[in-house]
Amino acid sequence: TTALTRNALRQSDIVLAQLCAENELVKARLSRQMPSVGDSSLTCEQAGRQLQVVTIVRPTPNPSFRRIDAQVLDGDNSILRLSTIIGRY
């Protein structure tokens, strides 16, 4: 029973983290600009929980593209990381 409860909480964490990460990646796509290389951090509130989203933008071998990673943390614990590639418009 404890394992089931823990798994249900973990699944809830992942769903909330995925919402935060996807929001940041979609925001980058909708800006219609090449994102600047570097790291940024912000707070994302989902279902009353404060999660930290660290966005990491890195160059790729092709200068027309950038790799963006959105990592979601709860305190020091990483919950989820999503990545995408954005091209020059």
Q: For residues 65 and 10, is the Cβ–Cβ distance under 8 A? A: no
Give the range of the structural domain holding residue 63, as residue numbers without chain letter.
2-87
pLDDT per residue rounded down to tens, the chain (89 residues): 788 777 777 898 999 999 999 999 999 999 988 999 999 999 999 999 999 999 999 999 999 999 999 999 999 999 999 999 999 87
Where do the H-state alpha helices sit in 1-89?
Answer: 2-30
Q: What is the total count of domains within the chain? A: 1
Cα-Cα-Cα-Cα torsion 13, 14, 17, 19, nearest 10 degrees, comes to -120
Strand pairing class (77-87; 65-74): antiparallel
DSSP state for residue 33 in the 8-state scheme? S
- Contact status, residue 74 vs residue 62, Cβ threshold 8 Å: no
Q: What is the CATH number of the domain that holds 42?
A: 3.30.1300.30
What pTM does this model have?
Answer: 0.86
